[in-house]
Structure 1
C-alpha cells in the first residue's frame, strides 16, 4: 500500500467509488432493494445502511482528527466488528429503502466534507490508534474500497437471480 496519497487523488477515488456504487443502485426496484439474501440475510438496502453506519463513524473520527483530539468516538466499546454489524443491522432493517438511500447520500456528502477539511499532512500522518498507519487508508476502507466490496456482493446476487 502506498504510504502517501495526495488529497486530490483521495477525493477523486472517493467520488469515483461513490458514483460507481450509486450507478449500480440506480436501476434497482424497491423489491430488489429490499429482498434478503445478498449476503446472508442482508438485502441491498441493508448493505447500504451498513456502509452508511461506517461512514458516520468515519466522520466522527475525522472530526476528532481535525479538532486535534487524542481519542476517537467509539459508540460500541467492547463489541467485535461482527457484533457491531449485527447491532446496526437490527437497528436499520425495518427502515425504508428510500430513507436508507437518502441517509447514504447525505452521509457521503458529510464524509467528503470531513476529508476536505483535513490537510494533506493530516491525511498522511501516522496515528498511534491505528498502529502507526496513516489516516487515509481508513478513509479508503470506509468509502471507495467498502463501496466496491459491497457492490461486488450486490452484482453477484443480481447476476444469480
Structure 2
C-alpha cells in the first residue's frame, strides 16, 4: 500500500529530527554538553531552538484543526532570544527528552489531518492562499535542515552539510503533491543555499520559486536571508530590483 501524503510528511519530519539526534550522538562528551552564546549556538542550543518551533507547530495545528487561526506571537527574533536564555543551562538529557516528547506530539497532531487539508490553498483562511503543507515542511523539515547544515559547517564537516542539503532537495522533489507549496519550499531552500555560499544553485531555486508564485518577488527584494545575492545581476533581473 502506498503512503499517504500525511505519512510521507510525517516521515520527513521524523527523519530531520533523527538527524539532529544522530549529530549529537556523534559528538564528544564535551561537545555535547557545551554551552554557546546567543550569537554562536552550541548543538544543544540548536536542539532547544528547533524543539520550541515544533512545540509552536503542535499548538498551531491544534488551532487549525478546529478551524481557528493560531494566536498572535511575539516577533521571531524576540522569541528566539527568549527561548535561548530560558534553555541555555538546561542539561542535554532533559532537552533530548523534551525533544522526543514534542516529536511524538507533533506526529499525533499531524495525523489528525487528511491529505486534502494540507494541500488545499483555500482550506484555512489564516494561510492567505498558501497550503498548510508549506508551513509544516518549512518549519519541521527545512528549518531543521538549515540548523543542521550550519552546525556541520561549524564542525568543518562540509561533506555531511552538503549531503544533507542535497537530500533535502531530493526529498522535496519527490513530493508530486506539493502544488503551490513548492514555491515557498523552493524559496526556503534558496535561502539555505545562499547562507552556505551555494549561490548558483540558490538562484536556480529562487527563479523557479518566483515563476511559480510571483507574489514572493516583493518579499525577496527585502529578505535579509538573500542579501548575499542582492548584487548579482541574475537576482536583480528576476526580482526587478
TM-score category of the 2 structures, normalised to the smaller one: 0.7 to 0.9
Alignment of 1:1-161 (within 5 A): 6-37=5-36, 40-68=39-67, 70-74=68-72, 76=73, 79-126=74-121, 127-159=124-156
SS in 1 for 2:111: helix
Tell me if the contact between 1:30 and 1:97 (Cα under 8 Å) persists in the aligned partners.
no
For residues 94-135 of structure 1, give each alpha carbon's deviation from its aligned partner in whole angstroms, at most 9, with x where no partner exists. 111111111111111111111111111212233332321111
TM-score by length of 2: 0.57
Flag the structure with more relative contact order, 1 or 2, with Cα contacts below 8 A and sequence separation at least 6.
Answer: 1
Deviations 1:49-82 (A, max 9, x none): 00011000000011112222x22134x3xx3211
What SS is found at the alignment partner of 1:41? coil
State the 1:90 CA deviation. 1.1
Instruction: Write the deviation string for residues 6-40 of structure 1: whole angstroms up to 9, x where unpaired.
Output: 22321222222222232222222342133345982
Residue pair 1:56, 1:111 contacting (<8 A) in 2 also: yes
Q: TM-score, normalised by structure 1?
A: 0.83
Q: After alignment, is 5-14 or 32-41 more displaced?
A: 32-41
SS in 2 for 1:19: helix
Change over 3 Å in CA distance of 1:38–1:88 after alignment to 2: closer
| Runs of at least 4 residues off by over 6 Å | none
Q: Which moved more, 1:20-29 or 1:143-152?
A: 20-29
Root-mean-square deviation over aligned CA pairs: 2.1
The total of aligned residue pairs comes to 152
Output one character per residue of 1:131-151: Cα deviation in whole Å (capped at 9) or x when no partner: 211111111122121221111
